[in-house]
Amino acid sequence: MLENYKLDTDKNSFIALLKKGNKIALETLFKLYYDKLLHLSKNYLTREEDGEEIVQNVFLKMWEQREKLKDVSNINSYLHTMTKNACLDYLKHEKVKLGYIEQNLLNKTTINYQFLKDEAASLLLEKELEQKILQSAELLPEKCKEVFMKNKLEGLKRSEIAQELGISLKTVDNHISKAIKHMKFQLRDFLTLFL
């Protein structure tokens, strides 16, 4: 009975030393419990480095909150509980992080799929539009078609077309204007897709 009383007094004295900021008491506690707490953390975590970091943080947290140690009756249980809770918090955080990474990957995959799908649809639409432009151009009067093709498809300037075909700039402008009106009418179904 007397031995138990002396042990409690020693524990209380030890905790009192920690509360006062005695670094030797902290070092002693660290040497006594580090390996035990590391072993405990290994039961929860897969990487030893994570366990080492958690145990070091447990001692750091205990040191920073040493004034609260007055309520601690069993330092062993206190350190074990802190380590276990720190491991569980770490696992929860990793689960959230993993969920975020998985969600982010899913979002990227969905966006990439949508992009490819949209790109394929755009290419199909572009080919249809190109075909419709060529078909519509065939309906133009011959000279008007020739001016339009040189301007819009070959990229020649109006002055270059006038010189090449031996017609006035005003005639080129009239043909282009007539062709554009014709094309707007012929391609009206396509134009509504982009408006």
pLDDT tens per residue across span 15-66: 788 888 888 888 888 998 999 999 999 888 888 898 899 999 999 998 888 8
* Residue 66 parent element (H or E): none
For the domain spanning 139-195, the CATH number is 1.10.10.10
Q: Specify the domain boundaries for CATH 1.10.10.10 within the chain.
A: 139-195
What single DSSP character describes residue 73? S
Tell whether the model's pLDDT for residue 109 goes beyond 60.
yes
What single DSSP character describes residue 67? G
The structure tokens 């480095």 sit at 49
What's the pTM?
0.48
Considering the four listed CATH numbers 1.10.1740.10, 3.40.50.300, 1.10.3720.10, 1.10.10.60, the one that applies to the domain covering 2-99 is 1.10.1740.10
